[in-house]
Structure 1
């Protein structure tokens, strides 16, 4: 019987435990009551180990059919994954000491059977019972919570500390086994920008829906303008553009990120992989162009695009050092990733400033997205003054694009059309509400920008979207200014109103023009010029790419904030005046839009051939409404100017109410 017990201890994979036959009634009568209890305890421990071994074989096996085997009661099949498989294989490693011990007992028993007893075997098995119970607890939690991927790493880290040295060593063994998978995925991403993740377990995931629409529109525009012998080249280049867009398809899945790894560390890992992707895309572009051009024409470009300078093996060795770190020191993780990121950002900074001409690209963005070339957009508004008043027509979209190109030719900047192009957003074209198809071309315009390599990391799709928000807002201000001056030239001088009513109209127009002019000056000079100079100083001080990226993010956030455009995009809607109104907690933005609506409404009324009395009443209404809006605006600006971070708002308040004219008017109005 002793030998049968030892064999049962070793044969944990059998479907039937032959040792249980000794508990049968006809056999147990030959056993002492104490032996019966000891035998039952041995069977309990063996069954516990059998369940653990069954889990290890099923989940650690490559045979997917066996994964539906029920191990515990009310079990559900676990989701497949490399981390689960590594955990199961780690359990096999932990149980190796148990098998070695039982094997040694069997060999000693065969040499000298008289020295063994049932109690002696039980005492040896008893030492493994706490470990078996703890392993079963881990398995049950993984099954009940359906832990997957990096979540298993987090779970093991939470249970790494234990008073029992054997259990603590077992957890370390399981962590090392699971970390092998993690570091393989981390190495592939950091060094080669590849995600080897069949089951979606790594904390960096690829999102199929996040595509850079700007890049696609650029390539489609190029494809539409080229034909004939260049068609194949354009097709291949479109693939390169889509490769550049791929860097924004990768994002951090914070649910899978182990909690002991900081989110800042994960963002650095993501940035490193995106940087590698940018350089891989450029290498692919050179390879594609080589097939069409001579090799001698682009040999220098390949040398300049080298990022790692064949240092992959050095970084590979450092990452592998982390795999053998039994203490799992997070500082080691951060130091190695910081070292790799520091090298990449320094290299990127050199290429961005010297090869991609970052300063010049930022100046071009300022000239177009931020309306630095005022003469270009003034000419564009002049050409589209009548087009924008018509109802929506697909041909009108083409007219706007042609008008932008004509304006560029007219002011002598046609060479920039290869980098900037105007388009009308698709939501306008598919709108089902007929009211939304009138007079709102401006609110769906966007500039497409062909980004210089490797500045795609700086100008992400989200950044370009924010620039387009600024572009539309600044163009709206420019349009209001243009319409007010056109109103003054074409309507006020020719109106049939009496001198008193004409004076009221002239006074209202003067106030509106004064407001729009000073608002535009505030944005262009006090906000854009000052913030842009800060950004250029950072770049010219030879900052690395990370500092440049941070400075650019601050620059964009500051100008959005100081232009009152930090709003909730999901709450934007069109009001009856066809202006995009924000329902967020930004009252100044709402007031500005309401003032723009006053300008628009006044223009619409004066455009119609109405009798003098109707126009008089409408002018009085709009004048009163404008006075109330200015009162609200000045009160908000007074409340905000005390904040040291909003110094430019004091300049806006000073420009609008420098002689207290609006304040005095408010007192007279409510006296």
Structure 2
């Protein structure tokens, strides 16, 4: 009885083995036996759920793995014909193979699943799966060749790790809370933490590149291909497609790949012929192609399209010209903010020429526009305060009263703060960052290095101008609004102020005193905690002669 139980167990195992083979054979026949029919009936593929060229390649590799099993059956048949008394154990030994059930996966996910199971310790299993993986890699290399050499995305079934359209990962916007406003009594712990997180607040959102025409499909990227390599592949294909599709009259020699398409195609074919995937060889070839493309783009941008000249034009537009030079309406206005005045409608409009559009994207130009509007508001207030000084000089021979003295002293304090703020933005931010950008562009021949340097430049402009730091930005805007209100009051009342004008002046004095005190507390708190060099530099400009400190951190603190 015991012997029969053992034989029954072996027979059951052999039956399961035969059943698994039938399932594999039917699977292979189903997805490789009617290729032409599937091509003409895509709707049937969608109904079936499983389709794609990676699946067909997998079936081809699976069929080749089943060939030794079929050959073993033929050998057993010959052995049984020669010796009908062979035991069941001999059959079991001859057909000792391992079959794994493969879960439902799609596209390049098949590469990941096969690679994962090929890392096992059983040599027969590893060898079989490596053979399947090599066949599947053949499809990937064909897609890579089409994408990297010709800019063609051959992906009918959405199986490749590059897709057309933006990435699905969206960064949620930072909510604005009313309780973020600073009080008069000093800094709270929450506000100080907000200052300490300057480099993180909204910077990723503000500098996120505009929606690309192509992006990574991360869920299809095999784990043994790093994201950094996939990003290089994406960059090469996008650049090749942009270059080939754009009909421009540029004096260029050869293609973006410098007529090395055949060489690169041969290298990719060599990788395809390798029985095992080598990340070192793979990344080396990708880097070779990427560096060729990046160098050509650098030459196209810097030498032929005069990138440095275009950057200088933008820098001059962003710099502080007198407001009288900007009275023409702008064609660029963010739909999020409705202009309340002619000044609010002013913005930066710049027509980008090919191929500079891949550097100056709409999102990047919007950031320049944000910086431009902020700097223009500072320059406008500075010019208004200078105009008030001219009015003061015209009336200096006339008799003045105590209210006039308070008025002109307030103007001096406002001009002191605004002039030093303008000097900080002009010298410590714009000129400093722009010179660093030019040095980095001249020090490389790689387009991606230029793009990274430009993104870093724009990031520093937004951060060091405190556009990303809500407490400081809000405080500075309040001060600018008070200065503008003061200039309007002076311009509308050329003579001595009446009772109503004196009351308005009193409100302006108290408001400016309050906001200047708040600004000094913010800057001093940051300096004491040694956490932000930009705020410390602004404090140095404002308090270079210690007048701010000697005044108790308050400007305009005098009664009416």
> TM-score per shorter chain, which class?
0.7 to 0.9
Q: 1:6 matched to which residue of 2? A: none
For the residue of structure 2 that corresponds to 1:438, the secondary structure is coil
Q: 2:312 matched to which residue of 1? A: 363
1:438 aligns with 2:319: no
Q: 1:95 matched to which residue of 2? A: 66
- Contact 1:446/1:468, CA 8 A, preserved across alignment: yes
Unaligned runs of 5+ in 2: 169-208
Q: 1:599 matched to which residue of 2? A: 483
- Contact 1:207/1:249, CA 8 A, preserved across alignment: yes
Unaligned runs of 5+ in 1: 1-30, 70-75, 211-244, 287-300, 384-398, 402-421, 429-435, 568-584
- Contact 2:382/2:415, CA 8 A, preserved across alignment: yes
1:51 aligns with 2:15: no
Q: Name the TM-score, length of structure 1 as normaliser.
A: 0.66
Deviation at 1:115, TM superposition (A): 4.6
Whole-angstrom distance in 2 between the partners of 1:302 and 1:103: 67
**Of 349, 359, 364, the match for 2:298:** 349
1:661 aligns with 2:534: no
Deviation at 1:314, TM superposition (A): 0.6
Higher helix share: 1
Whole-angstrom distance in 2 between the partners of 1:461 and 1:326: 45
- Contact 1:83/1:152, CA 8 A, preserved across alignment: yes
Q: How does 1:549-628 map to 2 (within 5 A)?
A: 549-565=451-467, 567=468, 586-602=470-486, 612-628=498-514
Q: 1:40 matched to which residue of 2? A: 12
Q: 1:513 matched to which residue of 2? A: 415
For the residue of structure 1 that corresponds to 2:240, the secondary structure is helix
For the residue of structure 2 that corresponds to 1:255, the secondary structure is helix
Count of aligned pairs: 506
1:310–1:330: structure 2 CA closer, same or farther, 3 Å change rule?
same
Deviation at 1:322, TM superposition (A): 2.2
Whole-angstrom distance in 2 between the partners of 1:593 and 1:439: 16
For the residue of structure 2 that corresponds to 1:114, the secondary structure is coil
Deviation at 1:187, TM superposition (A): 1.5
Deviation at 1:586, TM superposition (A): 3.8
Whole-angstrom distance in 2 between the partners of 1:103 and 1:544: 60
Q: 2:110 matched to which residue of 1? A: 152
Structure with more relative contact order (C-alpha pairs < 8 Å, separation 6 or more) = 2
Deviation at 1:165, TM superposition (A): 0.8
1:595–1:47: structure 2 CA closer, same or farther, 3 Å change rule?
same
Whole-angstrom distance in 1 between the partners of 2:535 and 2:237: 40
Q: 2:154 matched to which residue of 1? A: 196
- Contact 1:150/1:257, CA 8 A, preserved across alignment: yes
1:618–1:556: structure 2 CA closer, same or farther, 3 Å change rule?
same
Deviation at 1:542, TM superposition (A): 5.4
Q: Higher mean Cα deviation, 356-365 or 485-494? A: 485-494
1:335–1:598: structure 2 CA closer, same or farther, 3 Å change rule?
same
1:536 aligns with 2:438: yes
Q: 2:91 matched to which residue of 1? A: 121
Q: 2:374 matched to which residue of 1? A: 473
Whole-angstrom distance in 2 between the partners of 1:55 and 1:49: 10
Deviation at 1:447, TM superposition (A): 1.8
1:400 aligns with 2:329: yes
Q: Name the TM-score, length of structure 2 as normaliser.
A: 0.78
For the residue of structure 1 that corresponds to 2:215, the secondary structure is strand
Deviation at 1:207, TM superposition (A): 0.9
Whole-angstrom distance in 2 between the partners of 1:468 and 1:163: 60
CA RMSD of aligned residues (A): 3.8
**Of 276, 280, 293, the match for 2:240:** 276
**Of 320, 332, 338, the match for 2:269:** 320
Alignment deviations for residues 499-535 of structure 1 (CA, whole Å, 9 cap, x no partner): 3223333222322222222212211122111221222
